[in-house]
Amino acid sequence: MKPKNKLLFISEPLEGSEKLIGELKECGWDITHIERLDSIPFTENLPGHDVGIVFLTQEDLDDATIFENAANRLDTRLIAISHQEVFDNLRHHQGIARLFFGYHRLPIDTARLHHALENLLSVINLDKDIQEEGGHRGRHECQMVGESPVIKTLFRSIQKVGAVDAPVLIQGESGTGKELAAKAIHRASARAKSPFNAINCGALPSNLIQSELFGHEKGSFTGASQRKIGIIENTDGGTLFLDEIGDLPLDMQVNLLRFLENHTIQRVGGLKEIEVNVRVLAATHVDLEKAVDEGKFREDLFHRLNVLQIRVPALRERGDDIATLAHYFFNKFSMEKSSIVNGFSKDSLSVMQLYEWPGNIRELINRVRRAMVMSEHPLIRPSDLGLERRVLDARYASSLEEARDLAERGVVMASLTRHSFNILHAARELGISRVTLYRLMEKHKIHREGQGDDIANHAEQTGSKEPNVLNFNRVK
């Protein structure tokens, strides 16, 4: 059974506070209740709580000593709760923004508070995992963050190909993190303590590629005032990553093939064959087999590079990793954010989950980073990310059936996101049974961490004959 998350609840007896405590307990929180800020023991820390909420009064904020000591003493992140007039007081804005990671106005919406606490908890857990040596996959795999089924498959593939000293072809769309995958393969290999060098084949002028890869001798051409050691020779004993190999000119493909076959290079203008021990990893966003058929890429070089193959998934395929990555990059760029920005709104997380992310992780980084700087609200909104609802409606379906599938998936994903993938609550909101919801999740490949196999097997294990279609008339 999953242990309950611990919540520190600081409030004097107020009308509705006991009811709120009961509702939060029903949401799965293990609550410690302290009545006043000044009743916290200052002789020792009060550890062991994941997150905390504090009901602020005018007196609390006016007594800066008690207020700041309490905030510094508590080993957790806090959300403030108070009346509108307290937050309207300009004298209190700086203190609230500095010491709290969010705030809610009275009267409290329990569901909204619960989601805010869960979002804050996900950021805290991500911080802890990254800081632990050998802990989170993101640190172990060169900051490749994620726990979705497809990214776990990628991690396993990286470990397998890392153990074999053979060329690897890494495929995936632009912006998916192919260079991070290459670095992870290098670190998982016996060459981990040797150099890792990368070169973008599409970014170099064609007249410089040979010199950059193989080096040149002094005087070999105009401007060659001294000997240059090429990147292949400089990587001796280590791993060379050739990014966008599909953009390599045909004449250079011949030279690269010779190196892969003989493990020797010859500097431009040189006569001596130099033996090198280098493992080659190559990446491309283009279909190399199609390029071979069109005569744009040498077939023999393709087979030399394609000994082992891994595919880095697009961000839209990674499900719940989108929110995890958004929180990860929010923390990474936390020094750049506006002082009032503390995280993402529930709507932002929902919209990010539905967006197609054509630019993949690179686009996610840019949108999150820009929103952190430009947002004028405590929680980043969809408009701050440039992902208003109308953006989602711009996806054109080629048929009525495809349009229905897009709409169905959007409604299911939005409900699951609102309820933190609580199947019972989401099914109840949609007006369908849990069996039908599991089937819809399987149909649309909607998975959350650790749920991939469970969802795939759930419908098969049940004897229900319910149709695998969401009845939109029953959606509340």
Please indicate, yes or no, whether residues 302 and 326 belong to a single structural domain of this protein: no
Please indicate, yes or no, whether residues 158 and 297 belong to a single structural domain of this protein: yes
CA separation for the pair 99, 31 (Å, rounded):
21
Query: Which residues, 6+ apart, have CB-to-CB distance to 173 below 8 Å?
Result: 285, 314, 360
Q: Which residues of 401-435 are buried (b: 16+ CB within 10 A; e: fewer)?
A: eeeeebebbbbbbbbbbbbbbebebbbbbbebeeb
Is the pLDDT at 473 greater than 50? The verdict is no
Please indicate, yes or no, whether residues 287 and 409 belong to a single structural domain of this protein: no
Domain contains 380 = yes
Domain contains 393 = no
Domain contains 139 = no
Please indicate, yes or no, whether residues 17 and 153 belong to a single structural domain of this protein: no
Q: What is the pLDDT of residue 308?
A: 93
CA neighbor of 120 nearest in space, from 450, 447, 420? 420
Please indicate, yes or no, whether residues 97 and 175 belong to a single structural domain of this protein: no
Please indicate, yes or no, whether residues 18 and 32 belong to a single structural domain of this protein: yes
Q: Which residues of 274-306 are buried (b: 16+ CB within 10 A; e: fewer)?
A: bebebbbbbbbbeebeebbeeeebbeebbebbe
Range of the domain at 444: 400-474
Q: How far is CA 257 from CA 108, 126, 210, 265, 306, in A?
A: 67, 43, 13, 11, 12
Please indicate, yes or no, whether residues 293 and 171 belong to a single structural domain of this protein: yes
Q: What is the pLDDT of residue 117?
A: 86
- Total structural domains within the chain: 4
Q: Give phi and psi for 279, each to the nearest 5.
A: -95, 135
- Which tokens hold the place of 363? 């686009």
Domain contains 448 = yes
The pLDDT > 90 percentage for the chain reads 18
Q: What is the pLDDT of residue 278?
A: 93
**C-alpha 141: how far from chain center:** 13
Dump the DSSP string for 408-433. HHHHHHHHHHHTTT-HHHHHHHHTS-
Q: What is the pLDDT of residue 176?
A: 92
Q: 43: pLDDT confidence band, cut at 50, 70 and 90?
A: very low
pTM for the full predicted model: 0.57
Is the pLDDT at 331 greater than 80? The verdict is yes
Q: What is the pLDDT of residue 40?
A: 58
Please indicate, yes or no, whether residues 181 and 299 belong to a single structural domain of this protein: yes
Read off the pLDDT of each residue in 155-162 and give the average, rounded to a whole number: 90
Please indicate, yes or no, whether residues 167 and 260 belong to a single structural domain of this protein: yes
Please indicate, yes or no, whether residues 303 and 321 belong to a single structural domain of this protein: no
CATH of the domain at 342: 1.10.8.60
Q: What is the pLDDT of residue 448?
A: 59
**For residues 237 and 194, is the Cβ–Cβ distance under 8 A?**
yes
Q: 70: pLDDT confidence band, cut at 50, 70 and 90?
A: low
Q: What is the pLDDT of residue 225?
A: 77
Q: What is the pLDDT of residue 62?
A: 64
- Which tokens hold the place of 456? 């795939």
**Which of 23-27, 202-206, 463-467 has the lowest average pLDDT?**
463-467
**pLDDT one-digit tens code per residue, 256-285:** 888 888 888 888 888 888 899 999 999 998
More confident residue, 457 or 443: 443
Domain contains 64 = yes
**pLDDT one-digit tens code per residue, 360-381:** 999 999 999 999 988 888 889 8
Q: How far is CA 174 from CA 62, 163, 313, 359, 456, in A?
A: 53, 26, 10, 7, 30
**For residues 194 and 239, is the Cβ–Cβ distance under 8 A?**
yes
CATH of the domain at 26: 3.40.50.2300
Read off the pLDDT of each residue in 141-151 and give the average, rounded to a whole number: 75
CA neighbor of 200 nearest in space, from 215, 186, 179, 183? 179
Is the pLDDT at 92 greater than 80? The verdict is no
Domain contains 138 = no
Please indicate, yes or no, whether residues 329 and 291 belong to a single structural domain of this protein: no
Among 79, 103, 131, which residue terminates a domain? 131
DSSP state of 474: G
Q: What is the pLDDT of residue 339?
A: 67
**For residues 321 and 381, is the Cβ–Cβ distance under 8 A?**
no
Domain contains 390 = no
Q: What is the pLDDT of residue 326?
A: 92
The total of other beta-carbon atoms located within 10 Å of residue 233's CB is 17
Among 263, 282, 311, which residue terminates a domain? 311
Is the pLDDT at 332 greater than 60? The verdict is yes
C-alpha angle 254-256-257 in degrees, rounded to nearest 5: 65
The total of other beta-carbon atoms located within 10 Å of residue 312's CB is 26
Domain contains 284 = yes
Is the pLDDT at 389 greater than 80? The verdict is no
Among 131, 156, 171, which residue terminates a domain? 131
Q: 41: pLDDT confidence band, cut at 50, 70 and 90?
A: low
